[in-house]
Structures are given as C-alpha cells and as structure tokens.
Amino acid sequence: MNSRALLRSAALVTTALLLGGTLAACSSNGDGDDTASGSVVDASTATSAADLGGFDALVEAAQAEGELNVIALPEDWANYGAIIAGFEEEYGITVNSASPDASSAEEIQAAENLKGQDTAPDVFDLGAAVALENTDKFAPYKVETWDDIPDENKHPEGLWVNNYSGVMSIGYDSDKLPEPTSLDDLLSDDYRGAVALNGDPTQAGAAFAAVGWIAALNGGGVDDFGPGIDFVGQLRGAGNFLTLDPTPATIASGETPAVFDWSFNNVAAAADKPSWKTTVIPGAAYVSFYNEAINADAPHPAAARLWQEWIFSDEAQALFLEGNAVPVRVDALKASGAADEGLIEAATFGTEGDDWISPDQAQTEAANAVLAERWAATIK
C-alpha cells in the first residue's frame, strides 16, 4: 500500500502545545552550564534539544520540572493511554491529564483561561480548523527525528508538526442497525434517532472531517462543505440526526448507535461494545492529521519539548499504529522495521491511496468559513 499518499496532503493542519514559564537547563557536560562560557539557556526559548546542550540536557531539565500538563487526550484515543504511560515510565515525569473529552476549541480556551498558572496545558493535540486560528500561540521546535518527517507534514520552522492520522468512518451497533453501504442508507427508518457526529464541526476536528467526508461522498470537494451540511440537514429532517456528543460510554450504553468518527476511535469502541462494527463507505476516503506544537506560555517548557521528542520517537509512533492510527513517520518506521505491515493495513481500513482526500490550509479555511455561516442553522 502507498503510505506516502496518506501523508502527502497533511500540511493543512496546525496543533498547539502551550508553553510558558522558564527553566534554566544544564548541558550534558556536567558543569551546570550549556556552553563553555557558562551561559544558561531558557528552555522556553529552545528551538531544539541542541539549544539546551543536547538531548540528555533536555531530559535533565524536564525531570527537574517533574510534571507535564496535557489536555483532551482520552486514553482510548489513538492509544494515548499507552503513550502517556510510556512517557512517564521512560522519563519519570508525572503527566497530569485534564478534560480528556474536551474539543480542540476547548483546549485553546483552557489555555487562555489558565495562562500564567501551573495548571495550564503544556501540550495540545488539535484538529485542523481550530489549529489554523491559533498559530500565533505556537513556539518553534524541531525534534531529533525532524528529517524523517515529510516536508509537507511540518512547518519549516517547527511551529507545528503532524503527528498521526485516521480514516473517517462510521461505527454502528450491529445488533440494532444494518451495515450502512451508502449515505442514503442513513436516511432510512432503520436509523431513526441514531446518527451522531463526534462533536461540533466548528470546534472539533473529528466532526469537521466527518462533514468533509460526507460532502465528498455527496459530490462536494474538500473546500466545498455545502453538500455535507445539506446532508446533515436531511438527516435532521428525517429525524435520524442525534445532537448528543458521543463518547465510549454513550456507545456502550446504546445512546449513540451510529457515529461518524475516525476509524481508530470506532475500532477502539468495540472493546466495550462487542457488537460495535466499523465501516468505510466506498468512494472518497477522508484522512487528516492531528498535530503537535509548543506554546510560549507552558508552565513546564522543558517537559513540553521532551514530550514533543517522545511523540515523534520510534516508540511512540509505533504505539499510535497499535491504536489503529497512522503515524506521520510511518515510512521511516517501515524502513527501520519498527512498523508492522499488518497494522498499517488495518489502520488504513482497507482504503486505497488513490481515494484519499484531505484539504490543504486554504481549503480548510474555506470549509470552516462555510461551517461558521451555516452549521448552527442546519442543526436547529
């Protein structure tokens, strides 16, 4: 399969890690200074581990901080539970995880509300629409695996870097619903009060992608979300659209019997709901990367940069793959033998590269403008 095709179009999105505070980092030469002249580097200004005297010095500075604040990282989302646990075990740094079910927009709001406080987020994981509106909050940083990340998947200065992707899919309770093979199936009486998006598309990356996928399947384009919004309006009119925000709990309880979401989320839901199946409707397949970045206002700036290094390491990238997400460094993992080809095939959910679509930055902005104008009226 052509994994490069999945990666090629991901330059659309930006993600923010929020950094603030300062920390004097020591070099690995053991004399407490990062250079022979004895100057001290502020971790919040470091654009690479080299700025702090090397990777070991970055680890030392992060361990001196002792903590990392993350937000909106559910443990069952793209295997983040294992990724967080791996970071804690590897570096002995406590990860404080807040509001795991928050949307991308709520992540940014939390950072603004908590700015200057020890509890402010250090790192974010954002979808396209929200990230594009907040690039002024990002700080540049290049991880040690920088050269393995395709140019189209990163900002040239490291303001943002794509981290993992999924394929938009439909999860459904096979005990209650037939497998949908087309969008029109979802308009039938079989799906009365059953169909939900994972969030509000003006705020949540998964819901934004769902409307984009629906639009593409309905004849629209990656910058033309009109057909997607129109179809949701049809679902609403048929009494089939649920405004309830789905979670693993609502899926397990049966409150949200059919959900548009990333394939890695829908596949994971089957752990608590054995009758939960995942399908990708034939035709255009929507893929879109989430992102990592660093913000100049994090309370733990060294730990935030070490987290960035961890996310793009072989170990964490392979953990994304184990969670049915496609890591941005998948080609490098394949070349080194760190990636299982069977896991790659499962993560793409049988879709072909020729059918993969994803908007670039300008197209995302155009789509977001249409959503801002029309979405609220559609779901009333």
Instruction: Kindly report, residue by residue over 51-84, the tens digit of the pLDDT.
Output: 999 999 999 999 999 999 999 999 989 999 999 9
* CATH 3.40.190.10 domain extents, the chain: 13-164+289-350, 166-287+356-378
For 75-89, 163-177, 201-215, 327-341, which range has the lowest pLDDT when averaged over its residues?
Answer: 327-341
Alpha-carbon distance of 307 to 235, in angstroms, equals: 41
Q: What's the pLDDT score for residue 375?
A: 96
Statement: 13-164+289-350 belongs to CATH 3.40.50.1820: no
At residue 13 the predicted structure's pLDDT band, cuts being 50, 70 and 90, is very low
Q: Which residues of 246-284 are buried (b: 16+ CB within 10 A; e: fewer)?
A: bbbebbeeeebbbbbbbbbbbbbbeeebeebbbbbbeeb
d(CA 172, CA 260): 9
The percent of residues in the chain predicted with pLDDT above 70, rounded, is: 88
Residue 309: φ, ψ to 5°: -60, -40
Mean local confidence (pLDDT), 250-273: 96
Q: Given pLDDT bands bounded at 50, 70 and 90, which one contains residue 342?
A: confident
Identify the weakest region by mean pLDDT among 84-88, 233-237, 369-373: 369-373
**Average of per-residue pLDDT across 26-46:** 52
pLDDT at 339: 84
Residue (of 266, 76, 283) closest to 171 by Cα position: 266
Q: What is the DSSP-derived secondary structure letter of residue 43? A: G
pLDDT tens, position by position, 113-147: 999 999 999 998 987 667 778 888 888 999 999 99
What number is the average pLDDT over the span 159-176?
A: 94
pLDDT of amino acid 35: 37
pTM, entire model: 0.77
Q: Which DSSP symbol is given to 184?
A: G
- Average of pLDDT values for 240-247? 95
**Mean pLDDT (whole number) for 21-42:** 39
DSSP state of 118: T
pLDDT at 40 (0 to 100): 59
CA distance linking residue 151 with residue 163, whole number of Å: 13
- Confidence bin at 157 (pLDDT 50/70/90): very high
For the 166-287+356-378 domain, the top CATH level (class) is alpha beta
Share of the chain above pLDDT 90, in %: 63
In the prediction, which pLDDT does 153 show? 84
